[in-house]
Amino acid sequence: MKKKILLLFLSLFLLFLAGVITNLYLISQTINNLDYLVALHKVEIIRQELVINVQTVQANLYTTGTSFGKELDVIADNVLKLDNRVRSCGSCHHAPPVARNIKELQQLTEQYKDALSYFITSTADPQRIKRLQVVAADIGDTIIAKSQQMALTANKSLRKKTIAASEKVRKSKWILVVTLVFSFLIALAIAIYLIRSITQPVSELLMATRRIKAGELGATSSYQGQHEFKELIESFNDMSLTLKETNEKILAQMTRNQTILQTSTDGFALIGENGHIVDANPSLCTMTGYTKEELVQMKFADIELLESELDPADLLERIKEARSLVFQADQKTKDGTLVAVEISASFAEMEGRGNFFCFIRDITDRKKMGAERLRVQKLESIGVLAGGIAHDFNNLLTGILGHIDLAMRNLDPDDKIQGWLDNAKKASVRAQDLTQQLLTFSKGGKPVKQLVPIAPLLKESTSFVLSGSNVRCDYQLPENLWPIEADKGQISQVIQNITLNGAQAMPKGGTITVRAENVTVEEGELPPLRKGEYVKIEFIDAGTGIEKKYIEKIFDPYFTTKEDGNGLGLTICHSIISKHN
């Protein structure tokens, strides 16, 4: 394109230069013609002066000897002027015909000068002087006639030359006009070409950039262009498409991030440097019970209760210095409930301002599972200890019971010591039962699982425990209950212990509702249960229930609120069920 522009301007310059040179040549020719015309006019003036001089000499010649005659020296002076004019005519360059006429005129002038010289210097008789006068006059008339003829010829030539010069001037003007018009047309054509070649591509690119500015990312120009502009437009189109693709990727990533934040089960809060909540996701709203509009009017410290030694401002400063921090807190919900949460916070600048990005996870279940694991570990530890003690204690009880039996056999049945020994034997038997429970709790063992129909097992186990009591069972057992994979003996013990607890909670009697149903548990739905099919069993009594403050302790070994309880029933149940999972 650069070469084309340079060639176009060079062509325009050469064209204009040719026009200038042509006009300069024509002007030069015109000037030469004008100079020639001026010279012709000068010659004509000389000829006219020649005729005037001849006529003056003729007049002097005819008036000699009269009162109007001139003196001879005046006539001689006029003759010299005449000679000078004739010589002036001969000094110019003329065409051969003109030169011949001038030569004849010069000869006539010489003859005329000689005739006048004879006439002026003659002292002969008057008749001879008269003849000399007539001869000189005739020659003068001939000179005048010849001069007039030459003047006529010169005038014709002058008129032709003038017409030719005028024609050349007109032609020069026409060529000048044509050159200017042609130069203008060429310049106009070059301008149009440049407009199409430069302005139009630029205009197309400008329109495309305006479309992009208006939000139409990926807008391209359909203009093909040539050379560098073609490459420029192709590069612009590629850039626009790349910009659109990049923007779509960014928007897709933003959409994915937003979707992740909006659908995440973890809460998210965007917090400003001043501690105010700027944004929150639906999960955080669900966790706290507040709407998003309510949350953005609150501060971080309004919903997150930290340990007493931590100040919210100091914590945010620590996060800012460390750039990221993970800590636990109690989250206060709208209804005042406290939820254990783990907060993963990081600090970053966004839009020229510092922000804290906080991901908040409810760790209530995790804490429960941790507590459960701790309880299991504690139960195992206690079980090992209790098993050892129970084994040794059971051996001692066996010896005590044996000796009591021997003593009772050797005593008279009516002896009052028999009563004491009988009470001692009963106490020893109860102690032996306790040691058996401790041994069951400690050994537990891995359950021997088999498919067991649960409905008959529920009826059999509950009926055995409630036999002879004022408590009855109401069974709500569907016929399509799935059989369970379990250790029948251990599960029977669990059913009996729970039923016994329900019966003990209703000392005046009542009804225990035993309900069972098939359930399907999804992954993570009810931790620590794995995904699968289960049978859900519920025991509902009409007793006073367990106080809230005791809920966390009901599975602890030896914890009981009954006067005659040993605190091992639910502990054994927990141990058996845990080992079945």
> Is a pLDDT exceeding 50 seen at residue 93?
no
Q: What 3-state DSSP class applies to 268?
A: strand
> Is a pLDDT exceeding 70 seen at residue 456?
yes
What confidence score (pLDDT) does residue 219 get?
Answer: 77
Q: Which residues contact 127 (CB under 8 A, 6 or more apart)?
A: none
What confidence score (pLDDT) does residue 69 get?
Answer: 43
> Is a pLDDT exceeding 90 seen at residue 207?
no
Calculate what percentage of the chain has a pLDDT beyond 90: 9
Residue 534: pLDDT band (50, 70, 90) is: very high
What confidence score (pLDDT) does residue 302 get?
Answer: 79
- What's the length of the chain? 581
Section 405-409 average pLDDT: 85
- 532-540 and 510-521 strand pairing: antiparallel
> Is a pLDDT exceeding 50 seen at residue 400?
yes
Provide the CATH topology of domain 364-443: Helix Hairpins (1.10.287)
Section 31-41 average pLDDT: 70
Section 352-379 average pLDDT: 79
The letter for the amino acid at 470 is N
Higher-scoring residue by pLDDT: 505, 96:
505
Neighbours of 113 (CB within 10 A): 19
Residue 62: pLDDT band (50, 70, 90) is: low
> Is a pLDDT exceeding 60 seen at residue 278?
yes
Q: Which residues contact 119 (CB under 8 A, 6 or more apart)?
A: 61, 129, 132, 133, 135, 136
Of 429-443, 459-473, 477-491, 535-549, the one with minimum mean pLDDT is 429-443
Distance CA 290, CA 306 (A): 19
Question: What is the rounded average pLDDT for all residues in the chain?
Answer: 77
Of 110-114, 304-308, 540-544, 570-574, the one with minimum mean pLDDT is 304-308
DSSP conformation class of 520: E
Q: Distance from CA of residue 310 to its chain's centroid?
A: 42
Contact 444, 575 (CB under 8 A): yes
Provide the CATH topology of domain 446-580: Heat Shock Protein 90 (3.30.565)
What confidence score (pLDDT) does residue 51 get?
Answer: 67
What confidence score (pLDDT) does residue 40 get?
Answer: 63
> Is a pLDDT exceeding 60 seen at residue 82?
no
Residue 74: pLDDT band (50, 70, 90) is: low
Of 114-123, 208-217, 391-400, 418-427, the one with minimum mean pLDDT is 114-123
What confidence score (pLDDT) does residue 92 get?
Answer: 53
| Closest by Cα among 202, 212, 213 to 240 | 212
Section 554-577 average pLDDT: 76
- 170-200 pLDDT, tens digit each: 777 787 788 778 878 877 887 777 776 677 7
Full-model pTM: 0.43
What confidence score (pLDDT) does residue 296 get?
Answer: 86
Distance CA 53, CA 84 (A): 10
> Is a pLDDT exceeding 60 seen at residue 565?
yes
Q: Do 364-443 and 446-580 fold alike per CATH?
A: no
Section 524-533 average pLDDT: 83
Neighbours of 580 (CB within 10 A): 16
Of 93-107, 254-268, 319-333, 486-500, the one with minimum mean pLDDT is 93-107
| Domain 2-180: assigned CATH number | 1.20.120
- 491-525 pLDDT, tens digit each: 888 998 899 888 988 988 999 999 999 999 998 78
Contact 422, 409 (CB under 8 A): no
> Is a pLDDT exceeding 50 seen at residue 541?
yes
> Is a pLDDT exceeding 80 seen at residue 577?
yes
What confidence score (pLDDT) does residue 110 get?
Answer: 75
Max Cα–Cα distance, the chain, nearest Å: 239
What confidence score (pLDDT) does residue 177 get?
Answer: 80
Of 124-138, 448-462, 563-577, the one with minimum mean pLDDT is 124-138
Section 74-81 average pLDDT: 57
Residue 338: pLDDT band (50, 70, 90) is: confident
Section 267-271 average pLDDT: 87
Domain positions in the chain: 2-180, 264-362, 364-443, 446-580
Provide the CATH topology of domain 264-362: Beta-Lactamase (3.30.450)
Residue 68: pLDDT band (50, 70, 90) is: very low
Neighbours of 267 (CB within 10 A): 25
